[in-house]
Amino acid sequence: MNLYFNNICKSYGGKMVLENISGAINAGKKIGLVGRNGVGKTTLARILAGQETCDRGQIKLAPAEGKVFYLDQQPKYAEKDTVYATILRAVKSNDRVMEDIKAEAKVKKVLNMLGIEQKKWGQEANNLSGGEKTKLALCQLIVSYFDLLLLDEPTNHLDLKNCEWLEVFLADLAKPMIVISHDRFFLNQLVNEIWELTPCELKVYKGNYSAYKRQKEIEERNLFKEYDKQQTRIRQLKQVISERKNWYQSAHTAAGKNDFYRSKAKKHASILKAKKKELEMIEKEKIPKPSKLPAPAFQLINKHVLGDKVPPYLVRAENINKSFASRVLFQDISFCIKRGEKIVLLGENGIGKTTLLKIIAGFEDDYSGKVSISSAVKSGYFAQEMDCLDYEATVLDEVLTVGAGIEEARLLLASLLFRGDEVFKKIDNLSMGEKGRVAFVKLILSGANLLILDEPTNYMDIESKEKMEEVLMDYKGSVLFVSHDRYFVRRLANKVWEIVDGRLHTYEGNYEYYLSKRRKENIIQENEHVNNQSGIGVQELAETITRLECELAFLGGKLDQTKDEKEKEKLQERFLRLARELNDFKCLRKR
């Protein structure tokens, strides 16, 4: 199926959101739609899905009867419909499911697959939590028939396990799709083309998110070069014009009635005229000065950290237990936070990650066990709710409450996308992502040497996330954070904690190290299960190793023959993934 759109325009209350936007979605395309918050990504997706109409422009489906499935960022369901009824209706609307018995079985299977507990099946769909609503929408997606898929922030509220499942499901889906997402890791794994929506245009970049970033960096470098080159030429022309003008005036006066000198002066006049015309042409097509955000100064970020005499261990905890009524969150967990560590805390939604952060930050005291924090530690806590902000204050005034100077505050605010008069905006008028950036600037300037961050990148667009990453990578204090953004986790974390079944598991390495260890642990568990169930684990292991070796040999041959660079890159990624799996299985055989 193909979809074409041409010169799409849309305004709200007189404000133009989309102006003359054109593009095409063809078979085999998996497109990531990116752009700043508020630029119109959701509006464009809803128009293409038929959920909204455009003011002007044309949209054409080929074939015309093709079906489009749209997954809303904030799913809404029929009033009073239960979870079960919602999916049953979706199943029955699919012409390919004919019998009621099949339909009932399909509903149960898909609800269980997405981890929606049976006790919630009779609950009204609109009363679910944000994460549960997203899961229910994904259930609708699985049981529906469609030709084109439009997804608006499908990983919102999902934990890492469900994000990984969704990646695999969509990667295997042979349908064209557009995905709006701030999850860069998700886009890297899934898409083969990036659309960047700006207030002026829709630009197309081939490849995944990382390929798009490389192309953008090259574009920006070239733009700076072109700007510098044009500015140099403008200066040269102005200098030549000034010199020729002065020379012409003096030569013309001195020439008097001498024909030779008058002819020479006239020649210079024509050159002067040509140079003026060239300057006018350049001025008409003048390249705007590329905007470059100020890099947050290392000394500013670490002003209160580098001089601190902090001990090797900032926090020690022993035998922490925490329950809500009969539900046990933690049981006898112990841990420590060392100087300079940047620890990510992982775990399924609702498992107690925020509660553990609050215990360490001193905002939760209803637990048993002991938490010892060094007297040299000054902690700063970033809450998901961002309730540390005075909504009546301006951005600048709110940041100044932590004792920072105006120059320091404005420098860090500018590096986090608050430029010029934007610092005088009222907090109450900011988006959730903007409020998050203000809260983060306050933490950095507060002098905290231990940052405790609960989903700091929630609600932020990609550019905001990347600016926050730059600051945290330069920050030399310790950080403990919860995040579902795997790209953010991969760039920042040098240690991983994971809560599983009330226990805290520690991985002394980065996110890649954690993934490698988890793969091996899963293989061992699966093999032990096979041994316990059938006693044929060794044979199955040998067969798996043989299969992987054959696949790698086949891929090696394809890599040698393939000329296309994009195809070669995909094959290399698959080759490396299978090689890691083979290595894991061989290690298991040696046990």
Residues 205 and 224 in one domain: no
- Of 181, 196, 215, the last residue of a domain is 215
pLDDT value at position 44? 96
- Dist. CA 62–CA 138, nearest whole Å: 25
Range of the domain at 265: 216-284
Q: How do strand 68-71 and strand 15-25 relate by DSSP bridges?
A: unpaired
Q: pLDDT tens, 41-87? A: 999 999 999 999 999 999 999 998 899 999 998 888 988 899 999 99
In a domain, 292, yes or no: no
Residues 242 and 279 in one domain: yes
Q: pLDDT tens, 183-218? A: 999 999 999 999 999 988 999 999 999 999 999 989
For the chain, the domain total comes to 4
Report the range of poorest mean pLDDT among 321-330, 447-456, 565-574: 565-574
Alpha-carbon distances of 207 from 31, 43, 210, 363, 569, rounded to whole Å: 9, 24, 8, 45, 10
Residues 254 and 196 in one domain: no
Q: pLDDT tens, 22-38? A: 999 999 899 999 998 88
Residues 77 and 211 in one domain: yes
Write down the H helix ranges in 144-258. 160-172, 184-190, 209-255
Helices then strands, counting H and E runs in the chain, come out as 18, 18
Residues 221 and 209 in one domain: no
- Of 230, 250, 284, the last residue of a domain is 284
- Tell me the CATH number at 72: 3.40.50.300
pLDDT value at position 251? 62
498 versus 286: the higher-pLDDT residue is 498
Task: Name the token pair of 128.
Answer: 């679910």
Q: What is the mean pLDDT of residues 472-493?
A: 93
Residues 19 and 63 in one domain: yes
Residues 486 and 520 in one domain: no
Extended strands (E) in 401-519: 450-454, 478-482, 495-500, 503-507
- Dist. CA 321–CA 407, nearest whole Å: 45
Residues 220 and 177 in one domain: no
pTM exceeding 0.85:
no
Terminal Cα-to-Cα distance of the chain (whole angstroms) = 50
Look at the chain and count its residues: 591
Give the distance, in angstroms, between the CA of residue 207 and the centroid of all CA atoms in the same chain. Answer: 16
Residues 568 and 540 in one domain: yes
Give the percent of the chain with pLDDT over 70: 89
Residues 55 and 156 in one domain: yes
Task: Name the token pair of 84.
Answer: 């079960």
In a domain, 293, yes or no: no
Residues 525 and 479 in one domain: no
Give the distance, in angstroms, between the CA of residue 27 and the centroid of all CA atoms in the same chain. Answer: 25
Residues 523 and 498 in one domain: no
- Dist. CA 469–CA 457, nearest whole Å: 10
Measured at the alpha carbon of residue 173, what is the angle toward residues 527 and 1, in degrees to the nearest 5? 170
Sheet holding 56-62, edge to edge: 15-25, 2-12, 56-62
- Of 163, 196, 215, the last residue of a domain is 215
Q: pLDDT tens, 216-249? A: 989 888 988 988 899 998 899 888 888 877 776 6
